[in-house]
């Protein structure tokens, strides 16, 4: 097929290509600019579109996670159906005792209402026993030791079963995560590290210590209110202490059996815990044969403390410990895979640990090279001198390219670098990890304390305490009132 082009058509085509050339040149010119001639207007529009692209990518990722979660739920339900279809697994005609005990409290099963509550949750939790019973031998020894250290009853370990079936990867739709299902807003007050590299809510050691601290604090607060009941402290672990004290104030009761909780979930929480305790302790009576158990952490792992002042990869450290990074990642579910984008290629997977103090599990049979371990751990104590801390802008780069490479967002890069516009230039150094760290020092609020008195004791401004701790300020009678309570941790 032949084509003809007249003069008007020729000039029209030339104009079109010339316009395209101008757009490309303008865009390229705004990737990196010198300090004298920033293309601010066009650059601003481009950044708006890039932020929208980032947002859509995050939405797509969230939707994919939901799909994956649904597939996981379907798989779990299929497992449950298969398990329950095996008539040889569960014995029939099981007789229950008249009384069950939990954390020193007696539950009278001759009381019809109490029996109904217990029996409902017994049947509900029975079908998931294949999940949590095998894990008890792995995690219970660790939990029991930490409970003893904190002066709590050994039965509290069954609370972790009710929370997560002892799965470190358990995650609720509300965002609660890990063995004890801590929400981020609560976990941050108990020195639990959570970022794009680690999530200590999935660490059996850190999360169990945090759970003990919360329970002891709740029990102390309830005792001061004339309700020294560990079952109510357990309820507080589920719904928050303020909800429990509100029920006490409204109804006048001072123990679990004399109160009706505001939410059924809070009340059921205790019955679920009682049910899983009975199922675990009576495995041989309930099932025709015992479940295969997982080995204890103390039997299968070495426990290694690790302190870092900067962000570091653990590859060399793992080898110095006589193992490989894959083994360390598998044994420590609180470690995340950091996906570092490298332009056009697939993301690079790294295991990076942020600054902090951690308990790391390594294989029991691994033999460490003591000298090499000491050398590497000494490097770890160098602040912000590890995996990456900054990026030097190269010609042709813009914030969107840099953000994509390091698996972050343009807005985050602008925030941690204090950028008021998206204009960057070759040779400019950009922080990749915020140099601001969570404060480790805290003051424990005592009865009679006010924010002003605490501010004077610490030598810290009121406003800094309010901002650092996200405190709520209420206006009353023309005055600002800051809400704090005894036992609260105020970081500074």
Tens of pLDDT, residues 18-32: 444 444 444 444 444
Q: Which domains does the chain have, with CATH numbers?
A: 93-286 (1.10.530.10), 442-491 (3.10.350.10)
Q: What is the pLDDT of residue 75?
A: 65
pTM, two decimals, is: 0.70
Give residue-wise pLDDT tens across range 271-283.
Answer: 999 999 999 999 9
Question: Which parts of 409-457 are beta strand (E)?
Answer: 429-431, 442-444
Of 129, 156, 159, the C-alpha closest to 144 is 156
Give residue-wise pLDDT tens across range 306-364.
Answer: 999 888 999 999 999 999 999 999 999 999 988 766 545 567 788 999 889 999 999 99
Task: Give yes or no for residue 2 having a pLDDT over 60.
Answer: no
Give residue-wise pLDDT tens across range 442-473.
Answer: 788 888 888 888 888 887 777 778 877 777 77
d(CA 46, CA 30): 9
Q: What is the pLDDT of residue 222?
A: 96
Range with the poorest average pLDDT among 113-122, 149-158, 266-275, 341-350: 341-350
Q: Are 283 and 291 in contact (CB under 8 A)?
A: yes
Range with the poorest average pLDDT among 24-38, 157-171, 334-348, 474-488: 24-38
Q: What is the pLDDT of residue 170?
A: 95
The upper half-sphere exposure of residue 5, i.e. CA atoms within 13 Å in the direction of its Cβ, equals: 6
Going by pLDDT thresholds of 50, 70 and 90, the confidence category of residue 144 is: very high
d(CA 94, CA 110): 16
d(CA 352, CA 301): 21
More confident position, 371 or 6: 371
- Mean pLDDT for the stretch of residues 382-405: 82
DSSP 8-state symbol, 249: H
Calculate the CA 192 to chain-centre distance.
8
Cα angle for residues 129, 201, 241 (degrees, 5° grid):
90
Q: Are 313 and 335 in contact (CB under 8 A)?
A: no
Q: What is the pLDDT of residue 34?
A: 45
């Amino acid at each position: 097929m032949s084509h003809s082009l007249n003069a008007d058509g020729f000039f029209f085509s030339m104009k079109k290509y010339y316009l395209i050339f101008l757009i490309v040149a303008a865009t390229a010119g705004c990737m990196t600019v010198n300090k004298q001639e920033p293309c601010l207007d066009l650059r601003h529009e481009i950044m708006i579109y890039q932020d929208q692209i980032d947002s859509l990518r995050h939405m797509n990722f969230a939707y994919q996670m939901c799909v994956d979660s649904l597939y996981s739920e379907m798989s779990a339900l299929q497992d449950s159906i298969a398990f329950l279809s095996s008539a040889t697994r569960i014995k029939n005609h099981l007789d229950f005792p008249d009384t069950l005990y939990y954390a020193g409290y007696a539950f009278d099963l001759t009381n019809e209402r109490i029996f109904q509550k217990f029996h409902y949750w017994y049947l509900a939790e029975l079908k998931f026993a294949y999940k949590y019973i095998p894990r008890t031998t792995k995690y219970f020894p660790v939990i029991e030791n930490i409970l003893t250290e904190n002066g709590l009853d050994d039965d509290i370990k069954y609370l972790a079963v009710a929370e997560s079936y002892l799965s470190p990867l358990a995650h609720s739709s509300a965002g609660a995560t890990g063995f004890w299902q801590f929400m981020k807003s609560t976990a941050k007050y108990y020195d639990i590290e959570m970022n794009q590299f680690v999530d200590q809510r999935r660490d059996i050691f850190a999360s169990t210590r945090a759970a003990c601290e919360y329970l002891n604090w709740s029990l102390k607060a309830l005792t001061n209110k004339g309700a020294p009941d560990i079952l109510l402290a357990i309820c507080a672990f589920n719904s928050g202490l303020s909800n429990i004290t509100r029920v006490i104030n409204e109804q006048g009761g001072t123990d679990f059996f004399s109160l009706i909780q505001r939410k059924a979930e809070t009340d059921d929480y205790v019955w679920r815990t009682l049910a899983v305790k009975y199922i675990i302790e009576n495995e041989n009576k309930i099932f025709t044969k015992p479940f295969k158990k997982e080995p204890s952490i103390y039997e299968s792992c070495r426990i290694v403390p690790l302190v870092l002042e900067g962000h570091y990869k653990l590859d060399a450290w793992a080898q110095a410990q006589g193992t490989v990074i894959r083994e360390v990642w598998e044994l420590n579910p609180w470690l995340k895979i950091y996906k570092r984008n490298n332009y056009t290629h697939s993301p690079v997977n790294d295991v990076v640990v942020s600054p902090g103090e951690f308990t790391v599990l390594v294989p029991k049979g691994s033999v460490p090279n003591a000298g090499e371990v000491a050398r590497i751990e000494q490097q770890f104590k160098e602040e912000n001198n590890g995996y990456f801390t900054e990026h030097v802008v190269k010609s042709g780069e813009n914030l969107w390219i840099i953000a994509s490479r390091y698996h972050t967002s343009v807005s985050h890069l602008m925030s941690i670098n204090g950028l008021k516009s998206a204009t960057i230039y070759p040779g400019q150094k950009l922080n990749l990890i915020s140099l601001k760290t969570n404060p480790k020092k805290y003051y424990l609020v005592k009865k009679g304390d006010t924010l002003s008195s605490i501010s004077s004791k610490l030598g810290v401004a009121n406003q800094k305490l309010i901002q650092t701790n996200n405190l709520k300020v209420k206006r009353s009678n023309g005055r600002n009132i800051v809400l704090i309570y005894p036992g609260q941790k105020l970081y500074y």
